[in-house]
Chain A
Amino acid sequence: MKLWRSIRGTLDAFWITLRTLFRRPATIAWPEKRRAPAERFRARIVLTRDPQGKERCVACYLCSAACPVSCISMQSAEAPDGRRYAAWFRINFARCIFCGLCAEACPTRAIQMTPDYEMCRRDPLSLLYEKEDLLIDGPGKDPHYDFYRHAGIGVAAPRGTLPGERPPEDPGSLLP
C-alpha cells in the first residue's frame, strides 16, 4: 500500500509537468509585457498635494502609528505661516507590506497608494524613500480636499472667514 502511494506520488508530479508543458503560461514576460493593475491596487506610496499645490501632509503621525511594520518615520515641524508639515518623511519600502493602513488612517488624504508595483531593487538603501522621493505634484485621489479649509484654526484663511465659521467673538463684549 505504502509502496503504491509512493510510486503514484512520483508519477503524479511528472504527469503535472507534462500536462502543463502544453498549456498557456499564467506568468507574463515582464518587463516586455506589463499588466494593468486594478485602479485600487495597493503599491508604491506617494505623498500628494492639496488643490493649491501645497504639501498636504501635516505630519500628524497617524500613518506611522497605524503602520503594522513601523516603516514610516517623520519629524513634524511648524512653518512660518503656522502650517504643520513634515521636516522629513521617510518610508522604508524594504519593510512596507503595502497593507494600505496608512492611507486609511490619513486625515488629510496626503498619503495614498498607487498601482506602481515595479520597485524591486538590489540595494535596500535605495528602497528608503525620503520626502522628496515620495512627494508628487498633484492631489491624487480626492482632488478637491483641502484639510486646512475645514480645520477651523485659521491657517488657510483668516479665522472665522471660511464657510461654516462665525466671525471671531469679541471677548470684551458683555452683551447678552
Chain B
Amino acid sequence: MIDFTFTEEQEMFRKAAREFAENQVAPRVAEMEAAGKVSEAVVRALAEAEMMALTVPEPFGGLGLGYTARMIALEEISRISVATAMMLQVFALGIEPILKFGSEAQKQKYLPDLASGKRLATTAVTEATGGSDPTGIRTSYRKDGDDYIINGRKCFITNSHIADTLTILAKDENDPKAFSAFILEKGMPGFKATHEENKVGMRGCNTGELAFEDVRVSKEQLLFTEGKGLRVTMAAIGDVGRGGMVGCALGVQAACLEASVKFSRERILYGKPISQLPTIQSKLAEMKIDLEAGRLLAYRACAIQDKGQPSSNEFAVAKYFTTEAAQKAAKMAVDIHGGYGCMQEYAVSRYLRDAFVLGPSAGTSDIMKVIIARWVLS
C-alpha cells in the first residue's frame, strides 16, 4: 500500500516552517515589496532557522533532511512570501551542483558555509541568447596553463548580487560543443554583478546580471569533468530547480485559496456572504482541486528524488501543473475580490504578480511540455 500521509515529524517540520514564515517573514513583506530588494533580516533569519542546511548532508554541516522536508519548507514560506521562497529555493539550486558533482575538497570547502548561510549560493546558466536553449550561451572559457579564463555575461540570475558562491556554465572557446561548469566566488578579479532587475513580482528577491571579464580561475574551480558542464547544471535545475519552483507555486495556490475563502465569507452581497454563490463556490472548488492535485504531483516527485532516483521528468509535470495552477488561482482570487483585488492593500494583487514570475523561472511551461513529450515518446 502506498502511504500518502505525512509522518508526525514531517507535520512538525511544516509547523516549524509555518511559524517561521508567519513570525519572521510576514512582518517584512511590505518592506520588501516597496523596496524591491532582499531583506537582510530575512536572509539572516533563514540562516538562523537552518533553512539553507536542509538538503546538505550532516557530515558537511547540514541537516540531511532531503527534498520532501525542503518542499514542505518552501510551500510554507511561499504561502507568506513567494520572493523569500524563491531566494531560498535558489540557495539550494546553487548548493546542488557542488553536492552532486563536487570533489571532496570542493565539498569540504564550500558546503559547511553554504549550509550555515555564511555563504549564499546560486547557479547561473541563462544568457541573453535565450534560457530555453542553454547550448546557445556565449560565455566562454579557455585554458591557460593550469588555469581557465572566463569571459561573458549572464542574465536573469536569482541571487546574482547576494551570492558568494556561484556555479556558472561556460562554453569552450575552441569547441562550441564542450561546456564546463565552474565555481566562482564573489570578489574574484574581473567578476561583477552588474544590472539588478526591477521585477513586477517576487520583488523581495534579487534577480540580475553577471559579467565576467577575463576571470582567471584555477583548475580547483572546475566542477566535475571538463566538457560535462551541461550535465552538472541541467541535473541541478531539472530536479532541485524545478522542484523549488513547485514549492513556490504550491504556496501561491494555498495563499490564494485561503484569501479567497476568507474574503468570500466576509463579503456580503444580496444579504448573504458571497461564499454562498455557486459561481464563487465553483472557483473555490477549482482552486482546491488544483492544490490537492499539485501536492500529490509534488510530493510524489520528492519521494522519488529522496530515493536518489532521477525525478526531473516528474518535476517537469509538477512544475507545469502547479505554476499554471498558481496563475489560474491568482486570477480567480483577484476576481473573487472584485475591485478590492486590484488594490495593493489586498495580498491577492501581489499573488497575481508573483504567480506570473513563476512561469519562466527554471524553464517555461512550453519547455516543460517539450520535456514531458520527450519523456512519453522515449
Are chains A and B native binding partners rather than an unrelated pairing?
no
Interface residue ranges, A against B (CB under 8 Å): none
Interface residue ranges, B against A (CB under 8 Å): none
